[in-house]
Structure 1
Amino acid sequence: MKHPFFARLYARVRPTLDQAGAAEHRRRLLAGAAGRVIEIGAGDGGNFAHYPPEVAHVLAVEPEPFLRAHAVRQASTAPVPVEVVDGTADRLPAAAASADVVVVSLVLCSVPDQATALAEVQRVLRPGGELRFYEHVAADPGRLATVQRVADATLWPLLAGGCHTHRDTAAAIRSAGFTIDQLDRFTFPPDRTTPAGPHILGRARLTA
């Protein structure tokens, strides 16, 4: 799965966004994680430095070759063991019930089908396991939401590696059978309005 333009742009821009506050979001996303983790859509490995020492192993799945190569380099200096592998969200290279935590970070906007990806999350999570999510999402009804719908119907997905800005990801997580235990909504970057500005960050578990 190659997105050469987007991959190079993302690898260039991601450190700048981290310095502007995204690194703190990543830290909050991963705080308290423990055990075996599967990270879906690891990108260039921007999360790796933020995994706490209680994490025993991270299986980092990334389908884009350029980003995956960057992630391998980031894994070599990560504070916990990280294995970077090729794979997609709709067919994870992991056994059933093999993860204590699944992490999705700015990836559910770009998967072909959120329901399929979240079904895979269910499959690989152990009973009582946790989904951690950090995603940009659909704006509330209004002008920005209209801009998002127009962007998604034109060039945005082509230029941004399949990204869609107007997805109600929290609703998709609930529809997949998860109970959201923690949900924070915010705009990032906070000082300007962009189609990808509305974000959510939180934790969810499978509904019993």
Structure 2
Amino acid sequence: MRHPVFARIYARVRPQMDDHGAAEHRRRLLAGLTGQVVEVGAGDGGNFAHYPVEVTSVIAVEPEPYLRSKAEQQAVKAPVRVEVVNGTADRLPLESDSVDAVVTSLVLCSVPDQAVALAEAFRILRPGGELRFYEHVAAAGRMASVQKALDATIYPPLAGGCHLHRDTAAAITAAAFTITDLDRFDFPPTGFNPAAPHILGRAIRSEAS
């Protein structure tokens, strides 16, 4: 899966986004994690520095070659052990019921099928395991129309397959997760930006599933 232009732009812009507030979102996303974690769509490794030391290992899955190489560089500097591997959200290279947490960070917007990706996350999680998510999502009102128009035309090809108008919280619930914590906010908080609506939260795989 190659998006060479988008990957290079993202790797340049991501640190700037972190400096303007995204780093704090990443810290919130990962706070309190323990055990073995899988990060789906790790990008250039922007989350790695924020993993708490209680995490025993992170398997970071990234299909885009340029971003994967950048993630490998970040993994060396991470406070926890990180293994960067090639793979996609719809076919994770892990056994069922094998990890304590799955992290998605600005990736469920770009997977071909959210239901398939979330089913894979559900599959590899141990019963009672956590899904941590930080995603930009569908807006309401007039902005929703703008998002839909962009999704139908130029945005996915320009943005590495990203779609703006996805109700990711509803998709998580539909995948049989129970959302236990959900924060909605705009980032950046001001200005006209179709990608501003975000969610950040946690969901649990049922013990009985």
Shorter-chain TM-score: what band? over 0.9
Aligned residues: 207
Instruction: Give the structure 1 partner of residue 105 of structure 2.
Output: 105
The 2-side partners of 1:4 and 1:191 are apart by: 30
Question: Which amino acid in 2 is paired with 1:107?
Answer: V
Is the Cα–Cα contact under 8 Å of residues 58 and 82 in structure 2 kept in the other structure?
yes
The 1-side partners of 2:151 and 2:107 are apart by: 15
The 1-side partners of 2:49 and 2:95 are apart by: 25
Q: CA deviation at 1:206?
A: 1.9
Provide the secondary structure at the position in 2 that maps to 1:173.
helix
Question: Which amino acid in 1 is paired with 2:70?
Answer: H
The 1-side partners of 2:161 and 2:193 are apart by: 17
Mapping of 1:71-82 within 5 angstroms? 71-82=71-82
The 2-side partners of 1:57 and 1:201 are apart by: 22
The 2-side partners of 1:122 and 1:204 are apart by: 10
Question: Which amino acid in 1 is paired with 2:50?
Answer: H
* Ranges in structure 2 where 5+ consecutive residues have no aligned partner: none
TM-score scaled by length of structure 2: 0.98
Once the two structures are superposed, what CA deviation does each residue of 1:36-73 show, in whole Å capped at 9, x if it has no partner? 00000000000000000000000000000000000000
Once the two structures are superposed, what CA deviation does each residue of 1:106-137 show, in whole Å capped at 9, x if it has no partner? 00000000000000001100011000000000
- Cα RMSD between the aligned structures? 0.6
Q: CA deviation at 1:98?
A: 1.2
TM-score scaled by length of structure 1: 0.99
Q: CA deviation at 1:193?
A: 2.2
1:167 aligns with 2:166: yes
Identity %: 71
Q: CA deviation at 1:195?
A: 1.1
Mapping of 1:127-206 within 5 angstroms? 127-140=127-140, 142-206=141-205
Instruction: Give the structure 2 partner of residue 50 of structure 1.
Output: 50
Once the two structures are superposed, what CA deviation does each residue of 1:162-185 show, in whole Å capped at 9, x if it has no partner? 000000000000000011000000
Q: CA deviation at 1:191?
A: 2.0
The 1-side partners of 2:192 and 2:14 are apart by: 18
Tell me which stretches of 4 or more aligned residues in structure 1 moved more than 4 Å: none
* Ranges in structure 1 where 5+ consecutive residues have no aligned partner: none
Provide the secondary structure at the position in 2 that maps to 1:15.
helix
